Amino acid sequence: MDLIQSFSVDHTRIVPGIFLSRKDNIGDNTVTTYDIRLKRPNREPVIDVAAMHSLEHIIATYLRNDPDWKDEVIYWGPMGCLTGFYLILKGNRSPREIYDLVLRAFRSVSDAQEVPGAAPVNCGNYLMHNLGMAKWYAAEFADYLAANADSAAIFEYPRTERLVTDDGQHFFDS
Ligand SMILES: [Zn+2]
């Protein structure tokens, strides 16, 4: 059984940032999935689930309305581990090439007066939102991205070597 690509990342050494998760070719087009990681997995508290939900709504709305990028956006959604988000874009860009977009998207949260789509007709759990906490997490992450713009660590995942038995069997922990 092959490891899927994301699990060959050493999750114990991940720092927040913008990372390449995978590239897929669909017909003649390339689609790229990025991990937008806000929290250090297993080393600090995860994002509050209601704030996560609000960030999902607010940033999805921002990305799908940005004049330069809206046609590139395929998907924005939360990771089940509550440490970050998945962003799927058309094309084959490096994490550095989407840095400005991600920074702007998180900065935009501070201007939100309400959570878009937080109504029973639009959302599966419309009462589970927390705009105040969403603004706090977004500002924390945006400030971090700005402070670390020149650091390779926010664009490249730490890789892990895996134990392999004599007969070639790989150990993995996912
Ligand atoms: Zn919702």
Instruction: Name the residue ranges covered by the structural domains of the chain.
Output: 11-171
What is the CA(147)–ligand 1 centre distance, in A? Answer: 31
Cα 169 to middle of ligand 1, angstroms: 42
Work out the mean pLDDT of the chain and round it to a whole number.
Answer: 92
pLDDT one-digit tens code per residue, 74-124: 999 999 999 999 999 999 999 999 999 999 999 999 999 999 999 999 999
Q: Residue 100 carries which side chain, given as an amino acid letter?
A: D
Kindly report, residue by residue over 4-30, the tens digit of the pLDDT. Answer: 655 678 888 999 999 999 999 999 999
Q: Which of 2-6, 33-37, 46-50, 98-102 has the lowest mean pLDDT?
A: 2-6
| CATH number of this structure's domain 11-171, picked from the four choices 3.30.1360.80, 3.40.50.2300, 3.40.50.11810, 3.40.50.720 | 3.30.1360.80
d(CA 155, CA 16): 9
pTM score, whole prediction: 0.88
90 Cα–ligand 1 center, Å: 24
Q: Are 83 and 46 in contact (CB under 8 A)?
A: yes
CA of 94 to the centre of ligand 1 (A): 29
